[in-house]
Amino acid sequence: MTDAIAEIGVFGGSGLYSLFDDEAREYRVDTPYGEPSDVITIGTVGGRRVAFLPRHGRDHRHPPHRIPYRANVWALHHLGVRQILAPCAAGSLDADVCPGDMVVCDQLVDWTRGRAGTFYDGPQTRHIGFAEPYDPWIRATLLAASDRLGLGLRETGTMAVVEGPRFSTAAESLILARLGCSVINMTGSPEAQLARELAVGYATVAIITDHDAGRAADLQIPAVTQEAVGRMFAANLDRLRALLFDTIAHLSSEPSPLSSRALDEATFG
C-alpha cells in the first residue's frame, strides 16, 4: 500500500457518478487486475479525505457482470482506504419495503456466477470469515446518521446479488423472497468479500428503486424498467448524499476488528 492519500472510499452506484461539490483531484491507479472502472477522485468531506469511484464508470459503460471489481477494491486500498461505503440501487423483494426506502443491509446471498471473487487464486490460499458480510461499526454509523437526519433507514435486510444485466423473472424473485431475501441487486458481490480479504471495512446502503418482478406481479403493478430505476434513484440522490456526508464525518478512524483482523486466522497451512 502506498502512503495514505485517502482514508475512506465511496463506490457510486447507478445514478451516483460524482460526489464532491468543491475541487477534487483525479488519480489513475494501475492495478495487478487491470484498470478500475474510472479515474478516482479524491476530496475532503467533513474533514476526512475521501476517494470516490463510480463502479459502473461515469458514463455507465460497465454492466454489472463486467465491472472490474478486483481492480476497484485494490485501487482504493492502494490509496490508503480502510473503510468503504457502497451505496447501490436495489429492488424490493418484500411488500413492506417500498421504493424510496433505504436499507442498511446486514446479510448477503451471492447468486452470481463466474465473477472473479478473490485475490487469493493460489498458491497462497486464504479462507476469510464472512458470516457477517458488512462491517458493524460502519453500519452503526450509517444508522446514527439516519437518526440525526431523520431519514428513517431500515436497520436490517438480506441482499440477494444476481448476475444481471437482465432483471429477474417473476419466479426468480418470488423464490428469493421465499428464501428470506428482502432486497435484490446486481453489484453487491464480490465487492464485499474482496474488501474483507484486504481487511477493509465495507458496508452498503440499498436505495430501493422498485418492487422486483415477482413482487410487482403480486401487487399488480408494472414490472421494473431501467428508466424507472434511474428516475427513483435520482429522486433520492439528495437524501443519499446527506447520509453519506454525515456518515463520513462521524466514521471511526479504523474499521472494526471484524474487518481489520480478517486475515489473522485466514491463512491455510
Active site residue 210: yes
Active site residue 212: yes
The number of beta carbons lying within 10 Å of the beta carbon of residue 130 is: 13
Cell 495487478 locates to 32
Residue among 94, 110, 212, 246 flagged as catalytic: 212
- CB 39 within 8 Å of CB 24: no
Cell 455507465 locates to 60
Distance separating alpha carbons of residues 157 and 154, to the nearest angstrom: 8
Alpha carbon 35 to its chain centroid, in Å, reads 19
Residue among 101, 110, 135, 210 flagged as catalytic: 210
- CB 172 within 8 Å of CB 106: no
Distance separating alpha carbons of residues 216 and 193, to the nearest angstrom: 30
Distance separating alpha carbons of residues 52 and 42, to the nearest angstrom: 6
Radius of gyration of the chain (CA): 17
Q: What is the DSSP string of 157-186?
A: -EEEEE--SSPPPHHHHHHHHHTT--EEES
What residues act catalytically?
210, 212
